[in-house]
Amino acid sequence: KAGVTQTPRYLIKTRGQQVTLSCSPISGHRSVSWYQQTPGQGLQFLFEYFSETQRNKGNFPGRFSGRQFSNSRSEMNVSTLELGDSALYLCASSPTVSGANVLTFGAGSRLTVL
Amino acid sequence: AQSVTQLDSQVPVFEEAPVELRCNYSSSVSVYLFWYVQYPNQGLQLLLKYLSGSTLVKGINGFEAEFNKSQTSFHLRKPSVHISDTAEYFCAVSYMEYGNKLVFGAGTILRVKS
């Protein structure tokens, strides 16, 4: 069974640009969550999607957005990039929405903002 | 507020010695508890989970953890570590009413020395 696939793995952007990150979940998984990992703030929850609907949202500005497609693939977008957006963005998938689920994480997309 | 505290940011230990990584969480309701490991430039991998039942849970690679409700702790232990266990370890908690949202601790870097 293929794991969670995130693309691109690495990217460099400049301040003010926007970026779109993609996540393909494990086949059959309908929930996709996104996390931001930085040295200063650690791992922080961004949002969760299930069946194309946003179920939960973390405490991030509106520049951070996401969506989920009918095949469960998800994208997240960050507009008007700031230096502080430099981070590892991790996607995780699970079969359903339940606190008891085990999340399977992808390898992440490392974003550097110059 | 939901929070997870990992009491040690770094734990150095010699190979074949035992280790305990400490984790406390704040919650007055039922929680699900997880330990994840992250190797350099990789995503998170599940070590073990506590959902209900026996308070001693066993995971992969010889790790185990004990859930202590009265002390709101979920410490991770391994009786004999290997060089390959060098990585960052994250304790996380989820709640039934918040879906798959995980609240992570700040992480503990385990450094195994020969």
pLDDT in tens, A57-66: 999 999 999 9
Residue A8 has pLDDT above 90, yes or no: yes
Residue to substitute from B101, B108, B109, interface A, most A β-carbons within 10 A: B101
On the 0-12 / 13-18 / 19+ scale of CB atoms within 10 A, A22 is middle
pLDDT for res B28: 62
3-state secondary structure chain A: CCCCEEECCEEEECCCCCEEEEEECCCCCCEEEEEEEECCCEEEEEEEEECCEEEEECCCCCCEEEEECCCCCEEEEECCCCHHHCEEEEEEEECCCCCCCCCEECCCEEEEEC
- B36 chain-A contacts, CB cut-off 8 A: 105
Strands (E), chain B: 3-6, 10-14, 19-21, 23-26, 32-38, 44-50, 56-58, 64-68, 73-78, 87-94, 103-104, 108-113
pLDDT for res A1: 67
pLDDT for res B31: 86
> What is the pLDDT averaged over residues B33-53?
93
For residue B93, the chain A residue with the least C-alpha distance is A99
**pLDDT mean across residues, chain A:** 95
pLDDT for res B52: 87
Residue to substitute from A10, A60, A103, interface B, most B β-carbons within 10 A: A103
pLDDT for res A12: 98
Rg of chain B (C-alpha set): 14
> What is the pLDDT averaged over residues B102-108?
96
> What is the pLDDT averaged over residues B14-24?
97
Residue B71 has pLDDT above 80, yes or no: yes
pLDDT for res A63: 98
CB A13 within 8 A of CB A19: yes
Give the distance from residue B101's alpha carbon to the nearest chain A alpha carbon, in angstroms: 7
- Strands B108-113 and B10-14, by their bridges, are parallel
Contact check, Cβ <8 Å, B42/A107: yes
- B31 chain-A contacts, CB cut-off 8 A: 99
Task: Give the tokens for residue B31.
Answer: 């929680």
Q: Which residue has the higher pLDDT, A93 or B100?
A: A93
pLDDT band at B2 (very low <50, low <70, confident <90, very high): confident
At CB < 8 Å, which residues of chain A contact B? 4, 31, 33, 35, 42-45, 48, 50, 55-56, 58, 90, 92, 94, 97-108
